Amino acid sequence: MRNIKDQSNVVGLRIKNIRNLNNLSQDRFGKKIGLSGKTISSYETGRCIPPLYVLKDISHVYDVPLMVVKEEKKHALSEKIVHIQSLLQEINSAISGSV
């Protein structure tokens, strides 16, 4: 499991890559989503982790996925979702049967 510092570095690098792909300074990148260049710098260097609404704004404004999941993790997540859905059906059945 990654620690918070590793996660902030991954997010920061992703933001920096998006900014560089759009050939924007930190200031111009930030202004498009209502933030300062200093704030973008703190995200890119991992000093701060952006809140979810900032990641959603970046995703929307720059038309990039909010998160990228590796193929092997997609399969594992799919299996977990199927398992959770099965458990929910069992719970619903138990509730319906007791009413």
pLDDT tens digit sequence for 2-54: 555 566 688 899 999 999 999 999 999 999 999 999 999 999 999 999 998 99
**If you ran DSSP here, which 8-state letter would residue 89 be given?**
H
Residue 33, pLDDT score: 96
Going by pLDDT thresholds of 50, 70 and 90, the confidence category of residue 92 is: very high
Place of tokens 């990641």: 55
Instruction: Give, in words, the CATH class of 1-68.
Output: mainly alpha
- How many whole angstroms separate alpha carbon 56 and alpha carbon 33? 10
Going by pLDDT thresholds of 50, 70 and 90, the confidence category of residue 72 is: confident
Identity of the residue numbered 57: D
Residue 27, pLDDT score: 97
pTM, rounded to two decimals? 0.63
Q: For the chain, which residues make up each domain, given as ranges? A: 1-68, 69-99
